[in-house]
């Protein structure tokens, strides 16, 4: 099948060697890390609050941990589970696993024991590394006889004049049943492990999807997948050795894995980590380490803008600010530029596309769709084929400008889901990944994400995409966040309900009735929300995506 869209409008901005028409030699992420640690061991690798670690020091600690992992029998393609926040231990453990040729299974520390147990059984992980505060409640009940290594967010904090408030009251814990991370590293000292280097095609991670359409599935992400998308970020965002990365997204999420950790290793630049996202800490670190680049959800940028410290911090170096994971309204981008001098660029991707599938190149202006008012999520990345397929007939390819399911194929698409051939066959056919996202691509190649297939609302037979209604709500200056769901309706089958949070300065003025009227004047009668609920804040995932499914559960009334 002939591809409908490609990256030709901006391929000229890429290095010649990156042309998708040329054969490419991919590398493992570990190869790139070792090249920097070998040639420039003193180069900064990780900033953790006020403590910095060089590439050489991180490699030494990773080697030491790999020695200890080898003693437990961890080997080629075995799985190592990490249940950690954004702390140096997550990076060290990842590198140590790769030195053993193993696969990393990163897990959200907010998960319950039941949720982690499902991932443990599915991945058949051999060893667990977790934060100490999680052990007794979440890990001990499910670990059985597996070796467990515990660690603390305090272990690598060092001496600091500005102890982070988020770590106040935290105390070091140790358990008879577990190994201590720091003690293992110190015990191994300068020993090096038997070298089992991963090939580019080997799996680097099992990254479990959010499970919105059933139990979480482990996307099989290879080193080659990551290498390719690192090249995309390097070129599209104009990254070089003078850059510094903010680790804003969790390192258990594909954005943190690729756009923070792997991109830093790819270029030999530092990444600043801060345990959990706290706007005061982040603003201080942006200034302290002259941060230039990150990819974060728009909710993180809103938190930075709303924090009073943003007026007192120098964020002038932060000129490569990208947002993904949730829709960004054009008005929101304009407001950031006016208040913080921060231009936000859009990127769109999925776990299965190893982060970016479309991206707005640095310096480019993403257009706004005339029909919906949505800001483009960028151009299809080079080497990735893209189709827009009919939602009801996936074999029917639609022309530019029409809405349908976004289908992707190329070197960034994962191999499938771990030990789930049936689920893999549903999502990836003939190498083409059916994203489940409804999108359209214009004649110039700019992509616009409309919605998720499963979020379609059927109102008396009419199709309503939540995104269409949300985009109108975002046009109201008082609306800070918005999410739209369908709720049961005896007459219409479903009706439209919106949940919104309000900008503080409009709190006394905005009512549900006023917002309903605002929408009624701007969209077809079947589309505008019949119910609007104002909330202090909308429920979100750890990566900032608004959880429509929770609102759908709570919004039936």
pLDDT value at residue 478: 93
pLDDT level of residue 92 (50, 70, 90 thresholds): very high
Answer whether residue 110 shows pLDDT above 50. yes
Confidence (pLDDT) at 5:
55
Tokens 């966040």 correspond to: 481
Kindly report which listed range (108-112, 390-394, 401-405, 456-460) carries the lowest average pLDDT score.
Answer: 456-460
The single residue listed with the structure tokens 């776990």 is 351
Q: Does pLDDT of 257 surpass 50? A: yes
* pLDDT reported for residue 211: 42
* Separation CA 245–CA 532 (nearest Å): 39
Taking CA atoms, 103 is separated from 93, 305, 472, in Å, by: 11, 38, 44
pLDDT digits (tens, 9 = 90+) for 6-18: 544 444 444 443 4
- Each residue of 477-518: pLDDT tens digit? 999 999 999 988 866 778 899 999 999 899 888 999 999 999
* pLDDT value of residue 134: 96
Q: What is the pLDDT of residue 316?
A: 94
Q: For Cα atoms 25, 433, 105, give the angle at the middle one, nearest 5 degrees.
A: 70
Give pLDDT, residue 9: 41
Confidence label for 409 from pLDDT (cuts 50, 70 and 90): very high
User: In this predicted structure, what is the pLDDT of residue 489?
Assistant: 80
CA–CA separation, 266 vs 231, rounded Å? 8
d(CA 120, CA 284): 37
Exposed/middle/buried for residue 24 (C-beta within 10 Å: 0-12, 13-18, 19+): middle
Which carries the bigger pLDDT value, residue 322 or residue 471? 322
Grade residue 1 by pLDDT with cuts at 50, 70 and 90.
very low
**CA distance linking residue 200 with residue 202, whole number of Å:** 6
Total-model pTM = 0.83
336-383 per-position pLDDT tens digit: 888 888 899 999 999 999 999 999 999 988 899 887 778 899 999 988
Q: What is the pLDDT of residues 63-83, one digit of tens each?
A: 999 999 999 999 999 999 999
**329 Cβ neighbours under 8 A, 6+ residues apart:** 373, 375, 471, 474, 475
Q: What is the pLDDT of residue 79?
A: 98
Mean pLDDT of the chain: 89
Do 404 and 389 meet the contact criterion of CB atoms below 8 Å apart?
yes
Task: Give the integer Cα–Cα distance in Å for 66 and 99.
Answer: 7
Range from 27-31, 319-323, 367-371 carrying the lowest mean pLDDT: 367-371
Domains and CATH numbers, the chain: 29-198 (3.40.50.980), 456-554 (3.30.300.30)
Which region among 165-174, 341-350, 390-399, 547-556 has the lowest average model confidence (pLDDT)?
547-556
Give the tokens for residue 18. Answer: 């990156």
Q: What is the pLDDT of residue 555?
A: 52
- Across the range 119-138, mean pLDDT stands at 97
Residue 231 near residue 243 (C-beta atoms within 8 A): no
Classified as helix, coil or strand, 120 is: helix
pLDDT of 431 > 50? The answer is yes
**Weakest-pLDDT range from 213-217, 254-258, 350-354:** 213-217
**pLDDT over 60 (residue 20):** no
**Which is more confidently placed, 1 or 249?**
249
> For 439-479, what is each residue's pLDDT tens digit?
999 888 899 987 666 777 878 656 687 877 888 899 899 99
């Amino acid at each position: 099948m002939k591809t409908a869209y490609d990256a030709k409008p901006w391929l000229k901005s890429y290095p010649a060697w990156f042309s998708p028409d040329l054969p490419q030699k991919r590398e493992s992420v570990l190869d790139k890390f070792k090249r920097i640690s070998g040639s420039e061991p003193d180069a900064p690798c990780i900033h953790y609050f006020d403590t910095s670690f060089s590439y050489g020091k991180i490699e030494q600690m990773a080697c030491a941990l790999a020695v200890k992992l080898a003693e437990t029998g961890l080997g080629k393609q075995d799985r190592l589970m990490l249940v950690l926040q954004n702390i140096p231990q997550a990076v060290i453990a990842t590198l140590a696993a790769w030195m053993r040729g193993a696969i990393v299974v990163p897990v959200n520390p907010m998960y319950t024991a039941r949720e982690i147990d499902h991932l443990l059984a599915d991945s058949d992980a051999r060893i667990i590394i977790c934060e100490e505060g999680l052990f007794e409640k979440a890990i001990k009940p499910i670990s059985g006889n597996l070796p467990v290594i515990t660690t603390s967010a305090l272990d690598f904090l060092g001496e600091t004049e500005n102890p982070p408030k988020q770590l106040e009251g935290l105390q070091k814990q140790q358990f008879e049943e577990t190994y201590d991370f720091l003690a293992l590293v110190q015990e191994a000292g300068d020993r090096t492990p038997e070298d089992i280097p991963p090939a580019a095609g080997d799996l680097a991670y099992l990254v479990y999807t959010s499970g919105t359409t059933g139990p979480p599935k482990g996307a099989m992400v290879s080193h080659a997948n990551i290498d390719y998308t690192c090249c995309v970020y390097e070129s599209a965002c104009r990254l070089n050795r003078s850059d510094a990365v903010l680790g804003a997204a969790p390192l258990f999420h594909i954005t943190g894995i690729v756009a923070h950790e792997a991109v830093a290793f790819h270029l030999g630049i530092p990444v600043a980590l801060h345990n959990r996202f706290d706007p005061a800490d982040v603003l201080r670190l942006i200034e302290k380490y002259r941060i230039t680049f990150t990819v974060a959800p728009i909710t993180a940028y809103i938190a930075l803008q709303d924090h009073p410290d943003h007026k007192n911090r120098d964020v002038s170096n932060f000129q490569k600010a990208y947002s993904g994971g949730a829709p960004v309204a054009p008005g929101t981008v304009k407001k950031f530029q006016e208040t913080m001098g921060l231009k936000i660029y859009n990127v769109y991707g999925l776990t299965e596309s190893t982060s970016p599938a479309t991206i707005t190149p640095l310096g480019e202006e993403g257009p706004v769709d005339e029909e919906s008012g949505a800001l483009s999520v960028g151009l299809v990345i080079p080497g990735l084929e893209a189709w827009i397929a009919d939602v009801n007939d996936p074999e029917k390819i639609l022309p530019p400008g029409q809405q349908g399911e976004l289908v992707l194929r190329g070197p960034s698409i994962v191999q499938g889901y771990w030990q789930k051939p049936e689920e893999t066959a549903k999502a990836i056919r003939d190498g083409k990944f059916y994203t489940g996202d409804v999108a359209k691509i214009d004649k110039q190649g700019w992509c616009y994400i409309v919605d998720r297939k499963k979020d379609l609302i059927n109102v008396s037979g009419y199709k309503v995409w939540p995104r269409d209604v949300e985009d109108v709500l975002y046009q109201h200056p008082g609306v800070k966040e918005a999410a739209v769901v369908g709720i049961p309706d005896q007459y219409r089958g479903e009706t439209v309900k919106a949940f919104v949070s309000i900008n503080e300065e409009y709190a006394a003025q905005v009512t549900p009735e006023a917002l309903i009227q605002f929408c009624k004047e701007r969209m077809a009668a079947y589309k505008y929300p019949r119910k609007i609920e104002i909330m202090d804040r909308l429920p979100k995932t750890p990566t900032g995506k608004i959880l429509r499914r929770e609102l759908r559960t709570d919004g039936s009334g």
